[in-house]
Structures are given as structure tokens and as C-alpha cells.
């Protein structure tokens, strides 16, 4: 274990407190405390914090590369072919982030002045820096409450076809749903939403940043989960543990338009096979273990749910995310947990989020639950 302890201490020294999904500010005192501690850190802020494994780094180092703007990077081509095959779509485009995948899709389906329907707390509305109004000139309409919604709620959000109303042109579904605590969007609801959307002439997009987790939790293959959608964004840099990268999958026509937009937005990358190799490695080696993260999340949730001052809707813990409601201010719980070596994000005034991932063992998940309980027990 000494190597692990050293690695954790090194990470602590590099830590920033900026990554707060609710929007808290950088706190120099906490950053100092984090960088001068001797206990190892358990980082549950996000599944984006994983570091590439030695085997992944080796795959990256060995990657054959070329200029991908010229379409000449063999590893990118291999990744795009593989991801299109897995998703059951005609084509795929490797992009820098889930945000870029979502924003390209929104641009493909809309015109300035349009409105797009999303669920409560949808990532493009909450966490993409206002990109959709800026890049595509669209505004949001929200369907249902809590993130998941059904076809009736979607239909109720469609604006009348009058020239004085925004034109509703797209519905976006998020599976799993981040702010809903990693909930799996029921596939029967998705099929009904997509069918109803098409009767109204809407495009249908899936933010599948964590579709891998939905597939692991339900046993439904990725292509089936993608089938109702015109466009899907899939991330390699969340639970799969790649350092960078997402893919947009869709028809040939959509992908060729997205390729032009990606270049226009500065997202054309050159010898990017180094990153595609990490994604291919993650697809091959890290998918089968996602259920471990779900098991760890459940165990953490069960332990935390019994602690005074902390509340968890256990039925809602379906994948690798645990939303914990707190009697005390969430920032206070997060700050105390940090002092004890456990990092969680405050995602609301009385809510913290813990995300399990491949750098957190079962023992660490249990230890984190204990520290969170202690943080809530302090007067």
C-alpha cells in the first residue's frame, strides 16, 4: 500500500477545489489543508477524476497516429468504426468532450430561435456554460420534474406551431441522469418519447455520457439503448476511465455535418490517435467492471442512509452515483469530509454527490461512508 499512499498524496498536492458541481468557489484554506495532509484521499467528486492505468498509458504510447483533420489517423478511424458498430449507427465522430458531443447534436437538429426540450437538471442546461444559446441560438423548455419524464410531459412542453412561439425542434434525454443521481431512464419511456417526438417532427438526441452504466445496470446492449435516437453522445472519460474523449454517433449525413462544425468550433484534432487508443483500451478492459462501481455505490448509500443527518433514497441508487441529502449545509459536510480525506461535491444547498469509479475500491467506499457519517455527526 505505500505506493498507493504516495500516489494519493501526490494527487492531493495537485488538487484544485474548483471542481464543484454546484458552483462553490476556490477555497485556498481547504486547498492548503488538502495538500498538507498525510491520510490518503478518496476522491468521489466525479468519475471524471480517474487517471489512466499503466496498461492504458502503454496502449497510448503504442498508438499508430496520423493527421485526423486529413482523416489519416488509423487509431481514430478504428475507434470511430468500433463505436458506430457498438451503437448500431452508421457513423461516429471522436470529439474532445461530452459537452462538444451534445452541442454538435443540438446544432445539427436546430435553427436559431428554436426551443429544445430537456429534463430537469439536464447537463446541457445546467453544466455546459450556456453553450446551447450561444452556439446554436436555442433556448430550453423543461419536461417533467426530477430529470426523468414521459411522452405526455414531453408533449406538454412542445410550443404551439405559431410564428410568435419558438419552434420546438429537438428533445434530449439523459441516460443515466446525472443530477437525478445516476438514475437509468426507463427504455419503455424513451421509446414512447421518441415515437411521440417524431409525430411532431422533432429530432431525438441522447446524452449518453454514462450509457455504459445504464447498459451494465440493465443488461440491455448499447445498440438497443441507442436505437430510438437520431444522435447519441457517448463518453469515454467518465466510468470507462479514459483521460479524454467522447463520440457522437448518428447517420453518415449527420456525422459529416458535425465534422464540419467540429472544425469550425476549433475541435479538429491532429495526431489524436493517442487519445483514441485510451478510449479503445477503456472499451475493451473497463466495461466489464462497471458493475463493481454500482455495487460500491449501493454499499456506500446503505451505510450513509443509516447515519444521523444524512438521507439517501436507496431505491434511486441504480448505478455509480449517490445523491446524499444533508440536514446541515452541504458545503459544510463536504468541507469536513475533505479534512478527513474524502472528497465529495455539494450539488445543492443540502445535497452532496458521491460518484464511484475505477480508482475507488470497496474498502475505500466503506471508509468514505464512515467519514461522511462522522462529518454529519459533528455538532
**29 exposed, middle or buried (CB, 10 Å; 0-12, 13-18, 19+)?**
exposed
Please tell me the distance from the alpha carbon of residue 126 to that of residue 147, in angstroms, as a whole number.
12
The two beta strands, 167-174 and 351-355, are: unpaired
Tell which one of 37, 52, 88, 127 touches ligand TLP (CB under 6 A).
Answer: 127
**Does 136 interact with ligand TLP (rule: CB under 6 A)?**
no
Question: What would the DSSP string read from start to end of 175-192?
Answer: SSBTTTTSBPPPHHHHHH
Closest CA to 283 of 247, 258, 318, 252: 247
Number of residues that bind ligand TLP (CB under 6 A): 16
The two beta strands, 342-343 and 167-174, are: unpaired
With respect to ligand TLP, which residue has the nearer C-beta, 105 or 307? 105
With respect to ligand TLP, which residue has the nearer C-beta, 109 or 307? 109
**Does 323 interact with ligand TLP (rule: CB under 6 A)?**
no
Chain residues 48-77 in contact with ligand TLP, contact rule CB under 6 A: 48
With respect to ligand TLP, which residue has the nearer C-beta, 131 or 373? 131
Q: What is the CA radius of gyration of the chain?
A: 21
Chain residues 70-109 in contact with ligand TLP, contact rule CB under 6 A: 97-99, 102
**Does 21 interact with ligand TLP (rule: CB under 6 A)?**
yes
Shortest distance in whole angstroms from residue 235 CB to ligand TLP:
6
**Does 174 interact with ligand TLP (rule: CB under 6 A)?**
yes
Chain residues 233-252 in contact with ligand TLP, contact rule CB under 6 A: 235, 237, 246
Shortest distance in whole angstroms from residue 92 CB to ligand TLP:
16
Q: Enumerate the β-bridge partners of residue 179.
A: none
Q: Enumerate the β-bridge partners of residue 119.
A: 143
**Does 318 interact with ligand TLP (rule: CB under 6 A)?**
no
- Check if the beta carbon of residue 108 is closer than 8 Å to that of residue 257: yes
**Does 178 interact with ligand TLP (rule: CB under 6 A)?**
yes
**Does 173 interact with ligand TLP (rule: CB under 6 A)?**
no
Q: What residue has cell string 460500491?
A: 296
The angle at the Cα of 209, spanning 335 to 7, to the nearest 5 degrees, equals 45
Residues lying near ligand TLP in the complex (CB under 6 A): 21, 46, 48, 97-99, 102, 123, 127, 174, 178, 207, 209, 235, 237, 246
Amino acid at each position: 500500500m505505500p505506493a498507493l499512499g504516495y500516489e494519493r498524496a501526490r494527487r492531493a498536492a495537485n488538487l484544485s477545489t474548483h471542481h464543484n458541481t454546484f458552483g462553490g468557489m476556490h477555497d485556498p484554506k481547504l486547498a492548503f489543508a488538502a495538500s498538507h495532509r498525510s491520510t490518503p484521499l478518496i476522491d468521489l467528486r466525479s468519475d471524471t477524476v480517474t487517471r489512466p492505468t499503466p496498461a492504458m498509458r502503454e496502449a497510448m504510447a503504442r498508438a499508430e497516429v496520423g493527421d485526423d483533420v486529413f482523416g489519416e489517423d488509423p487509431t481514430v478511424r478504428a475507434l470511430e468504426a468500433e463505436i458506430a458498430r457498438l451503437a448500431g449507427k452508421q457513423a461516429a465522430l471522436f470529439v474532445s468532450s461530452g459537452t462538444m458531443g451534445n452541442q454538435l447534436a443540438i446544432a445539427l437538429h436546430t435553427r436559431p430561435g428554436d426551443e429544445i426540450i430537456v429534463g430537469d437538471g439536464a447537463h446541457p442546461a445546467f453544466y455546459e456554460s450556456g453553450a446551447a444559446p450561444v452556439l446554436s441560438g436555442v433556448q430550453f423548455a423543461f419536461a417533467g420534474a426530477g430529470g426523468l419524464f414521459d411522452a405526455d410531459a414531453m408533449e406538454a412542453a412542445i410550443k404551439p406551431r405559431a410564428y410568435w412561439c419558438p419552434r420546438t425542434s429537438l428533445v434530449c434525454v439523459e441516460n443515466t441522469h446525472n443530477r437525478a443521481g445516476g438514475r437509468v431512464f426507463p427504455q419503455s419511456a424513451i421509446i414512447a418519447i421518441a415515437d411521440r417526438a417524431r409525430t411532431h417532427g422533432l429530432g431525438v438526441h441522447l446524452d449518453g455520457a454514462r450509457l455504459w452504466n445504464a447498459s451494465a445496470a440493465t443488461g440491455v446492449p448499447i445498440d438497443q439503448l441507442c436505437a430510438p435516437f437520431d444522435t447519441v453522445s457517448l463518453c469515454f472519460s467518465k466510468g470507462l476511465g479514459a483521460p479524454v474523449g467522447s463520440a457522437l454517433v448518428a447517420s453518415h449525413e449527420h456525422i459529416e455535418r458535425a465534422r464540419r462544425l467540429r472544425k469550425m468550433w476549433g475541435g479538429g484534432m491532429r495526431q489524436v490517435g493517442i487519445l483514441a487508443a485510451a478510449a479503445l483500451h477503456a472499451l475493451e478492459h473497463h466495461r466489464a467492471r462497471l458493475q463493481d462501481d454500482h455495487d460500491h455505490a449501493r454499499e456506500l448509500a446503505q451505510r450513509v442512509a443509516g447515519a444521523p443527518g444524512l438521507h439517501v433514497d436507496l431505491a434511486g441508487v441504480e448505478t455509480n452515483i449517490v445523491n446524499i441529502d444533508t440536514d446541515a449545509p452541504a458545503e459544510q459536510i463536504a468541507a469536513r469530509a475533505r479534512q478527513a480525506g474524502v472528497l465529495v461535491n455539494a450539488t445543492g444547498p443540502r445535497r452532496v454527490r458521491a460518484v464511484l469509479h475505477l480508482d475507488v475500491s470497496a474498502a475505500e467506499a466503506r471508509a468514505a461512508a464512515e467519514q461522511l457519517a462522522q462529518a454529519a455527526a459533528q455538532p
